Structure 1
Amino acid sequence: MSLPYQKVLLVGATSGIGAALADKLVENGTFVIAAGRRKENLDKFVAKHGANKAAAAVVDILKLESIPKFASSIINEHPDLDCVFLNAGVQRGIDFTKPENVSLDIVYDELLANYLSHVHLTKAFLPHLSKQDKQTALLYTTSQLGLIPMKRCPNYSGSKAAMHGFILALRSQLKDASSRVKIVEVYPPAVQTELHDAKNQPDLKNGHAIGMPVDEFADEVYQRWVNGEEQIPVGTAKPMFDAFENKRQDYYESFNAEMDKVLVDFTV
Protein backbone atom coordinates (compact mmCIF):
# COMPACT_ATOMS: atom_id res chain seq x y z
CA MET A 1 0.00 0.00 0.00
CA SER A 2 1.03 3.60 -0.55
CA LEU A 3 -0.32 7.03 0.29
CA PRO A 4 -3.04 8.45 -1.97
CA TYR A 5 -1.34 11.86 -2.06
CA GLN A 6 0.91 13.06 -4.87
CA LYS A 7 2.42 16.15 -3.29
CA VAL A 8 2.89 16.96 0.41
CA LEU A 9 3.83 20.30 1.94
CA LEU A 10 5.67 19.52 5.17
CA VAL A 11 6.03 22.58 7.42
CA GLY A 12 8.79 22.11 9.97
CA ALA A 13 11.00 19.92 7.80
CA THR A 14 14.49 21.26 8.52
CA SER A 15 15.34 18.83 11.33
CA GLY A 16 14.07 16.10 13.62
CA ILE A 17 10.69 14.51 13.05
CA GLY A 18 9.91 16.67 10.03
CA ALA A 19 13.19 15.93 8.26
CA ALA A 20 12.86 12.19 8.92
CA LEU A 21 9.28 12.11 7.64
CA ALA A 22 10.19 14.18 4.59
CA ASP A 23 12.90 11.66 3.68
CA LYS A 24 10.51 8.77 4.27
CA LEU A 25 7.86 10.28 2.02
CA VAL A 26 10.26 10.92 -0.86
CA GLU A 27 11.75 7.45 -0.54
CA ASN A 28 8.25 6.03 -0.98
CA GLY A 29 7.40 8.05 -4.06
CA THR A 30 5.68 11.17 -2.73
CA PHE A 31 6.87 14.60 -3.88
CA VAL A 32 7.67 16.74 -0.84
CA ILE A 33 7.77 20.50 -0.49
CA ALA A 34 9.91 20.98 2.61
CA ALA A 35 9.27 24.22 4.47
CA GLY A 36 10.98 25.88 7.41
CA ARG A 37 13.28 28.69 8.48
CA ARG A 38 16.72 27.20 7.77
CA LYS A 39 17.38 27.59 4.06
CA GLU A 40 20.66 25.68 4.18
CA ASN A 41 18.90 22.58 5.51
CA LEU A 42 16.14 22.88 2.93
CA ASP A 43 18.68 23.22 0.12
CA LYS A 44 20.47 20.08 1.34
CA PHE A 45 17.17 18.20 1.31
CA VAL A 46 16.46 19.13 -2.33
CA ALA A 47 20.05 18.37 -3.34
CA LYS A 48 19.82 14.97 -1.64
CA HIS A 49 16.65 13.88 -3.43
CA GLY A 50 16.68 15.95 -6.62
CA ALA A 51 14.38 18.67 -7.91
CA ASN A 52 12.15 16.07 -9.59
CA LYS A 53 11.26 14.63 -6.17
CA ALA A 54 11.53 17.57 -3.78
CA ALA A 55 11.19 21.32 -3.46
CA ALA A 56 11.79 23.82 -0.67
CA ALA A 57 10.17 26.94 0.71
CA VAL A 58 11.52 29.24 3.40
CA VAL A 59 8.91 30.35 5.94
CA ASP A 60 8.91 31.71 9.48
CA ILE A 61 5.58 30.62 10.95
CA LEU A 62 6.04 32.98 13.91
CA LYS A 63 5.31 35.82 11.47
CA LEU A 64 1.59 35.20 11.21
CA GLU A 65 1.05 38.07 8.80
CA SER A 66 3.25 36.30 6.22
CA ILE A 67 1.24 33.06 6.17
CA PRO A 68 -1.45 34.04 3.60
CA LYS A 69 1.23 35.12 1.12
CA PHE A 70 3.22 31.95 1.79
CA ALA A 71 0.16 29.79 1.17
CA SER A 72 -0.72 31.62 -2.04
CA SER A 73 2.83 31.21 -3.30
CA ILE A 74 2.85 27.47 -2.60
CA ILE A 75 -0.56 26.91 -4.18
CA ASN A 76 0.31 28.95 -7.28
CA GLU A 77 3.58 27.07 -7.76
CA HIS A 78 2.12 23.67 -6.85
CA PRO A 79 -1.56 23.57 -7.86
CA ASP A 80 -1.48 19.77 -7.49
CA LEU A 81 -0.75 20.04 -3.76
CA ASP A 82 -3.07 17.58 -2.03
CA CYS A 83 -1.67 17.22 1.49
CA VAL A 84 -0.36 19.64 4.12
CA PHE A 85 1.55 18.30 7.14
CA LEU A 86 2.00 20.81 9.98
CA ASN A 87 4.88 19.59 12.10
CA ALA A 88 6.73 22.69 13.31
CA GLY A 89 6.98 23.34 17.03
CA VAL A 90 9.17 24.31 19.97
CA GLN A 91 9.41 23.16 23.58
CA ARG A 92 10.64 25.15 26.56
CA GLY A 93 10.99 24.30 30.22
CA ILE A 94 9.27 27.03 32.26
CA ASP A 95 9.46 27.17 36.07
CA PHE A 96 6.68 29.21 37.67
CA THR A 97 8.16 28.72 41.14
CA LYS A 98 10.51 31.49 39.97
CA PRO A 99 8.09 33.81 38.17
CA GLU A 100 10.68 36.57 37.99
CA ASN A 101 12.63 34.35 35.58
CA VAL A 102 9.68 33.51 33.34
CA SER A 103 9.93 35.22 29.95
CA LEU A 104 6.48 36.00 28.59
CA ASP A 105 8.08 36.46 25.17
CA ILE A 106 9.10 32.79 25.29
CA VAL A 107 5.60 31.85 26.43
CA TYR A 108 4.05 33.77 23.55
CA ASP A 109 6.44 32.42 20.92
CA GLU A 110 5.74 28.87 22.08
CA LEU A 111 2.01 29.45 21.66
CA LEU A 112 2.64 31.00 18.25
CA ALA A 113 4.75 28.07 17.05
CA ASN A 114 2.66 25.25 18.48
CA TYR A 115 -0.90 26.54 18.14
CA LEU A 116 -1.69 29.91 16.57
CA SER A 117 0.48 29.42 13.49
CA HIS A 118 -1.20 26.07 12.84
CA VAL A 119 -4.64 27.67 13.00
CA HIS A 120 -3.50 30.34 10.54
CA LEU A 121 -1.98 27.71 8.22
CA THR A 122 -5.16 25.64 8.40
CA LYS A 123 -7.26 28.64 7.37
CA ALA A 124 -4.83 29.46 4.57
CA PHE A 125 -4.66 26.00 2.96
CA LEU A 126 -8.11 24.58 3.68
CA PRO A 127 -9.89 26.31 0.76
CA HIS A 128 -7.43 24.79 -1.73
CA LEU A 129 -7.64 21.31 -0.20
CA SER A 130 -11.43 21.46 0.06
CA LYS A 131 -12.06 22.19 -3.61
CA GLN A 132 -10.20 19.13 -4.90
CA ASP A 133 -12.31 16.37 -6.45
CA LYS A 134 -10.43 13.69 -4.51
CA GLN A 135 -9.37 12.96 -0.95
CA THR A 136 -6.88 15.46 0.45
CA ALA A 137 -5.41 15.73 3.93
CA LEU A 138 -4.26 17.96 6.74
CA LEU A 139 -1.90 16.35 9.25
CA TYR A 140 -0.77 17.72 12.58
CA THR A 141 2.02 16.68 14.92
CA THR A 142 0.84 17.26 18.48
CA SER A 143 2.27 15.37 21.48
CA GLN A 144 1.57 12.89 24.22
CA LEU A 145 1.86 15.98 26.45
CA GLY A 146 -1.36 17.23 24.91
CA LEU A 147 -3.00 14.24 26.61
CA ILE A 148 -1.07 14.27 29.90
CA PRO A 149 0.90 17.44 30.71
CA MET A 150 4.48 17.36 31.94
CA LYS A 151 5.09 19.72 34.84
CA ARG A 152 8.41 21.07 33.55
CA CYS A 153 6.75 22.20 30.30
CA PRO A 154 3.40 23.73 31.34
CA ASN A 155 3.05 26.07 28.38
CA TYR A 156 4.12 23.48 25.81
CA SER A 157 1.68 20.99 27.29
CA GLY A 158 -1.09 23.59 27.21
CA SER A 159 -0.36 24.54 23.60
CA LYS A 160 -0.50 20.90 22.49
CA ALA A 161 -3.73 20.31 24.43
CA ALA A 162 -5.21 23.34 22.66
CA MET A 163 -4.10 21.96 19.31
CA HIS A 164 -5.59 18.56 20.11
CA GLY A 165 -8.96 20.10 20.98
CA PHE A 166 -8.89 22.18 17.81
CA ILE A 167 -8.15 19.10 15.70
CA LEU A 168 -11.01 17.09 17.19
CA ALA A 169 -13.48 19.88 16.47
CA LEU A 170 -12.08 20.53 12.99
CA ARG A 171 -12.37 16.86 12.04
CA SER A 172 -15.99 16.80 13.22
CA GLN A 173 -16.90 19.98 11.34
CA LEU A 174 -15.44 18.67 8.09
CA LYS A 175 -17.07 15.25 8.44
CA ASP A 176 -20.42 16.90 9.13
CA ALA A 177 -19.94 18.88 5.92
CA SER A 178 -19.01 15.71 3.95
CA SER A 179 -15.63 17.25 3.18
CA ARG A 180 -13.00 15.23 1.32
CA VAL A 181 -10.28 16.67 3.57
CA LYS A 182 -9.03 14.00 5.96
CA ILE A 183 -7.70 15.20 9.33
CA VAL A 184 -4.87 13.15 10.86
CA GLU A 185 -3.23 13.72 14.24
CA VAL A 186 0.15 12.26 15.20
CA TYR A 187 0.95 12.01 18.91
CA PRO A 188 4.71 11.58 19.39
CA PRO A 189 6.36 10.39 22.57
CA ALA A 190 9.72 11.92 23.43
CA VAL A 191 11.82 11.55 20.26
CA GLN A 192 15.57 12.04 19.82
CA THR A 193 15.60 15.45 18.10
CA GLU A 194 16.77 19.04 18.53
CA LEU A 195 13.60 19.75 20.53
CA HIS A 196 15.43 18.77 23.71
CA ASP A 197 18.93 20.05 22.96
CA ALA A 198 20.76 22.72 24.95
CA LYS A 199 19.99 25.45 22.42
CA ASN A 200 16.28 25.04 23.03
CA GLN A 201 16.29 23.76 26.61
CA PRO A 202 19.49 24.84 28.38
CA ASP A 203 18.37 23.21 31.63
CA LEU A 204 18.74 19.75 30.03
CA LYS A 205 21.97 17.79 29.60
CA ASN A 206 22.35 15.52 26.56
CA GLY A 207 18.73 16.23 25.73
CA HIS A 208 19.17 15.06 22.14
CA ALA A 209 19.43 11.49 23.49
CA ILE A 210 16.01 11.57 25.19
CA GLY A 211 13.35 9.30 23.77
CA MET A 212 12.69 7.17 20.73
CA PRO A 213 15.10 7.15 17.74
CA VAL A 214 13.67 9.50 15.14
CA ASP A 215 13.93 7.09 12.19
CA GLU A 216 12.09 4.41 14.15
CA PHE A 217 9.38 6.95 14.91
CA ALA A 218 9.11 8.04 11.27
CA ASP A 219 8.86 4.43 10.07
CA GLU A 220 5.94 3.70 12.39
CA VAL A 221 4.09 6.94 11.61
CA TYR A 222 4.44 6.39 7.88
CA GLN A 223 3.17 2.81 7.98
CA ARG A 224 0.18 3.66 10.15
CA TRP A 225 -0.61 6.66 7.95
CA VAL A 226 -0.55 4.38 4.90
CA ASN A 227 -2.88 2.02 6.76
CA GLY A 228 -5.43 4.84 7.02
CA GLU A 229 -5.28 5.71 10.72
CA GLU A 230 -6.61 9.16 11.59
CA GLN A 231 -5.05 9.19 15.06
CA ILE A 232 -1.50 7.90 15.46
CA PRO A 233 -0.22 7.72 19.05
CA VAL A 234 3.32 6.31 19.04
CA GLY A 235 5.50 4.75 21.73
CA THR A 236 4.60 5.87 25.24
CA ALA A 237 1.74 7.96 23.81
CA LYS A 238 -0.17 4.80 22.86
CA PRO A 239 -0.91 3.46 26.38
CA MET A 240 -1.97 6.98 27.40
CA PHE A 241 -4.30 7.13 24.41
CA ASP A 242 -5.70 3.65 24.98
CA ALA A 243 -6.17 4.17 28.73
CA PHE A 244 -8.47 7.18 28.57
CA GLU A 245 -8.43 9.17 25.34
CA ASN A 246 -10.66 6.73 23.45
CA LYS A 247 -13.24 6.98 26.23
CA ARG A 248 -12.91 10.76 26.36
CA GLN A 249 -13.58 10.94 22.64
CA ASP A 250 -16.70 8.80 23.07
CA TYR A 251 -17.91 11.44 25.52
CA TYR A 252 -16.84 14.15 23.06
CA GLU A 253 -19.02 12.61 20.33
CA SER A 254 -22.07 12.13 22.56
CA PHE A 255 -21.72 15.60 24.10
CA ASN A 256 -21.54 17.28 20.70
CA ALA A 257 -24.46 15.26 19.36
CA GLU A 258 -26.52 16.47 22.30
CA MET A 259 -25.34 20.06 21.89
CA ASP A 260 -26.28 19.98 18.19
CA LYS A 261 -29.85 19.20 19.26
CA VAL A 262 -29.88 21.83 22.00
CA LEU A 263 -28.54 24.58 19.74
CA VAL A 264 -31.02 24.02 16.90
CA ASP A 265 -33.40 26.60 18.36
CA PHE A 266 -30.61 29.08 19.05
CA THR A 267 -28.57 28.97 15.84
CA VAL A 268 -29.02 31.82 13.37
Structure 2
Amino acid sequence: MSFPYKHVLIFGATSGIGEALAKQLFDVCETIIVTGRREENLKALCEGVPNASYRVHDISDHGSIAPFAASVVADVPQLDCIVLNSGIQRGFDFSKPDTVDLSQVDLEIDTNYVAYLHVLKHFLPHLLKQPQATVIAMSSGLALVPLPRVPNYCATKAALHQFWLSLRVQLQDTSVKVIEVFPPAVQTELHDEKHQPDIKNGRSIGMPLAEFTAEAWAGLLAGEDDIPVGPIVQLNYEKIDKPRQEAMNRFLGMMRKQAGA
Protein backbone atom coordinates (compact mmCIF):
# COMPACT_ATOMS: atom_id res chain seq x y z
CA MET A 1 0.00 0.00 0.00
CA SER A 2 0.96 3.64 -0.36
CA PHE A 3 0.37 6.41 2.15
CA PRO A 4 -3.05 7.73 1.09
CA TYR A 5 -2.88 11.17 2.71
CA LYS A 6 -1.22 13.97 0.79
CA HIS A 7 -1.53 17.14 2.87
CA VAL A 8 -0.04 16.68 6.32
CA LEU A 9 0.40 18.77 9.46
CA ILE A 10 2.90 17.45 12.02
CA PHE A 11 2.96 18.77 15.58
CA GLY A 12 6.26 18.36 17.41
CA ALA A 13 8.58 18.11 14.41
CA THR A 14 11.62 19.99 15.71
CA SER A 15 13.55 16.80 16.49
CA GLY A 16 13.33 13.08 17.09
CA ILE A 17 10.33 11.09 15.91
CA GLY A 18 8.46 14.07 14.47
CA GLU A 19 11.45 15.20 12.43
CA ALA A 20 12.16 11.67 11.19
CA LEU A 21 8.55 11.12 10.16
CA ALA A 22 8.48 14.44 8.33
CA LYS A 23 11.53 13.39 6.31
CA GLN A 24 9.77 10.12 5.49
CA LEU A 25 6.74 12.02 4.21
CA PHE A 26 8.60 14.59 2.12
CA ASP A 27 8.76 12.28 -0.89
CA VAL A 28 5.19 10.95 -0.77
CA CYS A 29 3.06 13.97 0.15
CA GLU A 30 2.17 17.11 -1.75
CA THR A 31 2.11 19.42 1.27
CA ILE A 32 3.91 19.09 4.60
CA ILE A 33 3.58 21.63 7.39
CA VAL A 34 5.82 21.07 10.41
CA THR A 35 5.31 22.83 13.71
CA GLY A 36 7.08 23.24 17.01
CA ARG A 37 8.66 25.84 19.23
CA ARG A 38 12.21 26.00 17.83
CA GLU A 39 12.25 27.94 14.60
CA GLU A 40 15.88 27.20 13.79
CA ASN A 41 15.17 23.45 13.80
CA LEU A 42 12.04 23.80 11.67
CA LYS A 43 13.77 26.07 9.19
CA ALA A 44 16.64 23.61 8.79
CA LEU A 45 14.20 20.72 8.34
CA CYS A 46 12.34 22.45 5.51
CA GLU A 47 15.39 23.84 3.73
CA GLY A 48 15.54 22.61 0.15
CA VAL A 49 12.17 20.83 0.36
CA PRO A 50 9.75 22.67 -1.94
CA ASN A 51 6.60 20.99 -0.61
CA ALA A 52 7.45 21.68 3.05
CA SER A 53 6.83 24.74 5.20
CA TYR A 54 6.95 25.45 8.90
CA ARG A 55 5.03 27.35 11.53
CA VAL A 56 6.35 28.16 14.97
CA HIS A 57 3.71 27.10 17.46
CA ASP A 58 3.58 26.01 21.10
CA ILE A 59 0.91 23.35 21.45
CA SER A 60 0.79 23.84 25.23
CA ASP A 61 -0.63 27.34 24.62
CA HIS A 62 -4.18 26.09 24.32
CA GLY A 63 -5.66 29.48 23.55
CA SER A 64 -3.56 29.73 20.39
CA ILE A 65 -4.83 26.51 18.85
CA ALA A 66 -8.16 27.79 17.48
CA PRO A 67 -6.62 30.66 15.46
CA PHE A 68 -3.74 28.40 14.45
CA ALA A 69 -6.19 25.84 13.07
CA ALA A 70 -8.15 28.49 11.20
CA SER A 71 -4.96 29.80 9.61
CA VAL A 72 -3.70 26.37 8.55
CA VAL A 73 -7.04 25.32 7.05
CA ALA A 74 -7.32 28.61 5.17
CA ASP A 75 -3.86 28.09 3.66
CA VAL A 76 -4.20 24.33 3.04
CA PRO A 77 -7.89 23.56 2.43
CA GLN A 78 -6.94 20.04 1.27
CA LEU A 79 -5.45 19.18 4.70
CA ASP A 80 -6.23 15.52 5.31
CA CYS A 81 -3.74 14.29 7.92
CA ILE A 82 -2.69 15.50 11.35
CA VAL A 83 0.16 13.87 13.24
CA LEU A 84 0.19 14.64 16.97
CA ASN A 85 3.71 13.98 18.15
CA SER A 86 4.34 16.77 20.68
CA GLY A 87 5.40 15.46 24.05
CA ILE A 88 7.66 15.94 27.04
CA GLN A 89 8.84 13.51 29.70
CA ARG A 90 9.90 14.44 33.21
CA GLY A 91 10.85 12.37 36.22
CA PHE A 92 8.90 12.89 39.47
CA ASP A 93 9.47 11.16 42.79
CA PHE A 94 6.45 11.57 45.04
CA SER A 95 8.27 9.81 47.88
CA LYS A 96 10.13 13.14 48.04
CA PRO A 97 7.24 15.56 47.56
CA ASP A 98 9.41 18.63 48.14
CA THR A 99 11.22 17.83 44.88
CA VAL A 100 8.03 17.74 42.79
CA ASP A 101 7.55 20.84 40.65
CA LEU A 102 3.81 21.00 40.06
CA SER A 103 4.22 23.52 37.26
CA GLN A 104 6.13 20.83 35.36
CA VAL A 105 3.44 18.27 36.20
CA ASP A 106 0.83 20.61 34.74
CA LEU A 107 2.94 21.31 31.65
CA GLU A 108 3.39 17.61 30.99
CA ILE A 109 -0.36 17.01 31.22
CA ASP A 110 -1.15 20.02 29.04
CA THR A 111 1.40 19.10 26.37
CA ASN A 112 0.92 15.33 26.22
CA TYR A 113 -2.84 15.10 26.63
CA VAL A 114 -5.00 18.22 26.97
CA ALA A 115 -3.46 19.95 23.94
CA TYR A 116 -4.36 16.98 21.75
CA LEU A 117 -8.03 17.44 22.62
CA HIS A 118 -7.85 21.12 21.74
CA VAL A 119 -6.31 20.25 18.38
CA LEU A 120 -9.07 17.74 17.66
CA LYS A 121 -11.77 20.20 18.68
CA HIS A 122 -10.55 22.80 16.19
CA PHE A 123 -9.34 20.63 13.28
CA LEU A 124 -11.99 17.89 13.18
CA PRO A 125 -14.71 20.12 11.67
CA HIS A 126 -12.44 20.46 8.63
CA LEU A 127 -11.21 16.86 8.53
CA LEU A 128 -14.75 15.47 8.71
CA LYS A 129 -15.54 17.21 5.42
CA GLN A 130 -12.69 15.48 3.57
CA PRO A 131 -13.28 12.36 1.45
CA GLN A 132 -10.67 10.60 3.59
CA ALA A 133 -8.58 11.90 6.46
CA THR A 134 -6.71 10.72 9.52
CA VAL A 135 -5.51 11.76 12.95
CA ILE A 136 -2.36 9.99 14.09
CA ALA A 137 -1.25 10.06 17.73
CA MET A 138 2.24 9.16 18.89
CA SER A 139 1.33 7.43 22.12
CA SER A 140 3.81 5.25 24.03
CA GLY A 141 4.41 1.73 25.16
CA LEU A 142 4.19 3.27 28.64
CA ALA A 143 0.49 3.79 28.01
CA LEU A 144 0.20 0.03 28.46
CA VAL A 145 2.76 -0.69 31.20
CA PRO A 146 3.97 2.20 33.41
CA LEU A 147 7.52 3.10 34.36
CA PRO A 148 7.43 4.41 37.95
CA ARG A 149 10.22 6.96 37.55
CA VAL A 150 8.03 8.91 35.08
CA PRO A 151 4.57 8.40 36.63
CA ASN A 152 2.91 11.49 35.21
CA TYR A 153 4.19 10.83 31.70
CA CYS A 154 2.76 7.31 31.88
CA ALA A 155 -0.55 8.69 33.11
CA THR A 156 -0.78 11.19 30.25
CA LYS A 157 -0.10 8.48 27.68
CA ALA A 158 -2.59 6.11 29.31
CA ALA A 159 -5.20 8.88 29.24
CA LEU A 160 -4.44 9.58 25.59
CA HIS A 161 -4.72 5.88 24.74
CA GLN A 162 -8.09 5.51 26.45
CA PHE A 163 -9.33 8.64 24.70
CA TRP A 164 -8.04 7.44 21.32
CA LEU A 165 -9.93 4.14 21.70
CA SER A 166 -13.15 6.04 22.35
CA LEU A 167 -12.43 8.50 19.54
CA ARG A 168 -12.04 5.62 17.11
CA VAL A 169 -15.49 4.35 18.02
CA GLN A 170 -17.03 7.83 17.78
CA LEU A 171 -15.55 8.38 14.31
CA GLN A 172 -15.97 4.87 12.93
CA ASP A 173 -18.80 5.90 10.59
CA THR A 174 -16.99 8.99 9.30
CA SER A 175 -14.21 9.58 6.79
CA VAL A 176 -11.61 10.11 9.54
CA LYS A 177 -9.36 7.18 10.41
CA VAL A 178 -7.99 7.13 13.97
CA ILE A 179 -4.44 5.77 14.25
CA GLU A 180 -2.26 5.26 17.33
CA VAL A 181 1.46 4.52 17.27
CA PHE A 182 3.05 3.01 20.40
CA PRO A 183 6.80 3.77 20.41
CA PRO A 184 9.16 2.02 22.79
CA ALA A 185 12.00 4.03 24.26
CA VAL A 186 13.65 5.61 21.21
CA GLN A 187 17.05 7.29 21.00
CA THR A 188 15.91 10.92 20.94
CA GLU A 189 16.36 14.03 23.06
CA LEU A 190 13.30 13.05 25.13
CA HIS A 191 15.74 11.41 27.56
CA ASP A 192 18.42 14.12 27.47
CA GLU A 193 20.00 15.12 30.76
CA LYS A 194 18.81 18.71 30.34
CA HIS A 195 15.23 17.43 30.59
CA GLN A 196 15.81 14.58 33.05
CA PRO A 197 18.93 15.29 35.15
CA ASP A 198 18.88 11.84 36.75
CA ILE A 199 19.56 10.21 33.38
CA LYS A 200 23.08 10.08 32.01
CA ASN A 201 23.72 9.37 28.32
CA GLY A 202 19.97 9.42 27.74
CA ARG A 203 20.33 9.70 23.97
CA SER A 204 21.62 6.11 23.92
CA ILE A 205 18.48 4.70 25.59
CA GLY A 206 16.15 2.60 23.48
CA MET A 207 15.65 1.71 19.83
CA PRO A 208 17.66 3.60 17.21
CA LEU A 209 15.50 6.31 15.65
CA ALA A 210 15.95 5.03 12.09
CA GLU A 211 14.86 1.53 13.11
CA PHE A 212 11.79 2.86 14.88
CA THR A 213 10.84 5.09 11.95
CA ALA A 214 11.10 2.22 9.47
CA GLU A 215 8.87 -0.04 11.57
CA ALA A 216 6.28 2.66 12.29
CA TRP A 217 6.22 3.66 8.62
CA ALA A 218 5.60 0.05 7.60
CA GLY A 219 2.57 0.00 9.90
CA LEU A 220 1.25 3.23 8.42
CA LEU A 221 1.66 1.91 4.89
CA ALA A 222 -0.16 -1.27 5.89
CA GLY A 223 -3.14 0.79 7.02
CA GLU A 224 -3.04 -0.45 10.61
CA ASP A 225 -5.09 1.31 13.28
CA ASP A 226 -2.71 0.40 16.11
CA ILE A 227 1.04 0.27 15.51
CA PRO A 228 3.01 -1.10 18.49
CA VAL A 229 6.72 -0.90 17.71
CA GLY A 230 9.44 -3.13 19.10
CA PRO A 231 9.17 -6.62 20.62
CA ILE A 232 8.38 -5.58 24.20
CA VAL A 233 5.66 -3.12 23.23
CA GLN A 234 4.22 -5.61 20.74
CA LEU A 235 4.09 -8.29 23.44
CA ASN A 236 2.39 -5.96 25.92
CA TYR A 237 -0.06 -4.86 23.25
CA GLU A 238 -0.99 -8.47 22.44
CA LYS A 239 -1.23 -9.58 26.08
CA ILE A 240 -2.78 -6.45 27.62
CA ASP A 241 -4.42 -4.18 25.09
CA LYS A 242 -6.02 -6.61 22.68
CA PRO A 243 -7.97 -8.22 25.55
CA ARG A 244 -8.85 -4.72 26.80
CA GLN A 245 -10.24 -3.76 23.40
CA GLU A 246 -12.16 -7.02 23.19
CA ALA A 247 -13.66 -6.26 26.61
CA MET A 248 -14.53 -2.75 25.44
CA ASN A 249 -16.30 -4.13 22.38
CA ARG A 250 -18.28 -6.58 24.53
CA PHE A 251 -19.25 -3.73 26.85
CA LEU A 252 -20.30 -1.58 23.90
CA GLY A 253 -22.38 -4.43 22.52
CA MET A 254 -24.10 -4.88 25.86
CA MET A 255 -24.83 -1.16 26.17
CA ARG A 256 -26.22 -0.98 22.63
CA LYS A 257 -28.38 -4.01 23.26
CA GLN A 258 -29.77 -2.44 26.43
CA ALA A 259 -30.37 0.87 24.65
CA GLY A 260 -32.32 -0.92 21.94
CA ALA A 261 -34.37 -2.97 24.38
Quote the Cα distance in structure 1 between the aligned partners of 2:196 and 2:84: 22
Q: Establish whether residue 83 from structure 1 lines up as the match of residue 81 from structure 2.
A: yes
Give the conservation status (yes or no) of the 8 Å contact 1:141–1:188: yes
Bigger mean CA deviation after superposition, 243-252 or 29-38: 29-38
Report SS of the residue matched to 2:55: strand
Aligned to 1:251: 247
Q: Establish whether residue 94 from structure 1 lines up as the match of residue 92 from structure 2.
A: yes
Quote the Cα distance in structure 2 between the aligned partners of 1:166 and 1:25: 26
Quote the Cα distance in structure 2 between the aligned partners of 1:232 and 1:226: 11
Q: Establish whether residue 192 from structure 1 lines up as the match of residue 190 from structure 2.
A: no
Aligned to 1:61: 59
Map 1:1-268; keep pairs closer than 5 Å: 1-49=1-49, 52-132=50-130, 134-175=131-172, 178-235=173-230, 236-263=232-259
Quote the Cα distance in structure 1 between the aligned partners of 2:86 and 2:207: 18
Report SS of the residue matched to 1:27: coil
Q: TM-score, normalised by structure 1?
A: 0.94
**1:237 Cα offset (Å):** 1.0
Give the conservation status (yes or no) of the 8 Å contact 1:191–1:214: yes
Quote the Cα distance in structure 1 between the aligned partners of 2:247 and 2:199: 38
> Residue type of the partner of 2:244?
R
Instruction: Give percent identity, aligned residues only.
Output: 46
Report SS of the residue matched to 2:47: helix
Quote the Cα distance in structure 2 between the aligned partners of 1:131 and 1:260: 27
Runs of 5+ unmatched residues, structure 1: none
Quote the Cα distance in structure 1 between the aligned partners of 2:24 and 2:30: 9
Give the conservation status (yes or no) of the 8 Å contact 1:25–1:31: no
Quote the Cα distance in structure 2 between the aligned partners of 1:9 and 1:29: 11
Give the conservation status (yes or no) of the 8 Å contact 1:26–1:54: yes
Report SS of the residue matched to 2:137: strand
Report the aligned-residue RMSD: 1.2
Give the conservation status (yes or no) of the 8 Å contact 2:5–2:29: no
Change (3 A) 1:79 1:264: same
Report SS of the residue matched to 1:62: coil
Q: TM-score, normalised by structure 2?
A: 0.97
> Residue type of the partner of 2:22?
A
Give the conservation status (yes or no) of the 8 Å contact 1:107–1:155: yes
Deviations 1:117-136 (A, max 9, x none): 0010011110100011x210
Quote the Cα distance in structure 1 between the aligned partners of 2:64 and 2:74: 16
Quote the Cα distance in structure 2 between the aligned partners of 1:245 and 1:30: 35
Give the conservation status (yes or no) of the 8 Å contact 1:139–1:185: yes
